[in-house]
A and B are shown apart, each in its own frame.
Chain A
């Protein structure tokens, strides 16, 4: 069974640029959620994708967008980067329909905006 993978591991961008982060779900999982974790904080929910459609969104502006592909992999896109976007971005996959909603996280992408 393959776990959740994310790429790249680290990324440095300049304010105003755009970035795309990628995630491959754990084998057999059909739902992907993205979280932002600022230094010293718990993860904050950005959005979730199920069957290639957005299935819920946290308190993040529209410049945060995403995609889910037929193989359940996913992308997080952030436009017009701001300094406050510097954080660890976590992808989590889960299998909707099994009862409890356990999510399994990837190692994250560390984004630094200068």
Chain B
């Protein structure tokens, strides 16, 4: 069974601060996706990383896939209240029949 562990579970920071969310596993994934979910809504895809060591940037968000494709990180620079939400990482295993999700990091950015 493939598992993804996210840390931290909760994060409350002030506007303008930087933060990093981690997603770790002992399993290798074909790709890893990051989602953001607002209360009462479905997850919205932010990015997909495929190659070990890959780095992708989405405005103030930087995503990195570990060299061994077992872990990933999400770094937010100068967080804003609009970044508040639940951040989920999800790994695509072999066979592509399901995504394995982490338990999420709930981020609150105070103005």
Contacts and interface: CB of A to CB of B under 8 A. Distances in A.
Contacts, number: 67
Nearest to B38: A107
B84 interface: no
A100 B97 contact: no
A45 B31 contact: no
Contacts of B103: 40-42
Interface string A27-59: 000000101000011111100100000011010
Contacts of B96: 96, 101
B33 to A, nearest CB: 7
A10 B96 CA distance: 30
Nearest to A9: B40
A80 to B, nearest CB: 24
Q: How many A residues are at the interface, by size bracket?
A: 20 to 34
Interface string B81-98: 000000010101001111
Contact of A48 (B6, B30, B97): B97
A105 B44 contact: yes
A74 to B, nearest CB: 15
A103 to B, nearest CB: 6
Interface of B: 4, 6, 30-31, 33, 35, 40-45, 48, 50, 88, 90, 92, 95-104
Interface of A: 4, 33, 35, 40-45, 48, 55-56, 58, 90, 92, 96, 100-108, 110
Q: Which 5 A-B pairs have the closest CB atoms?
A: A56-B97, A42-B101, A105-B42, A45-B98, A101-B96
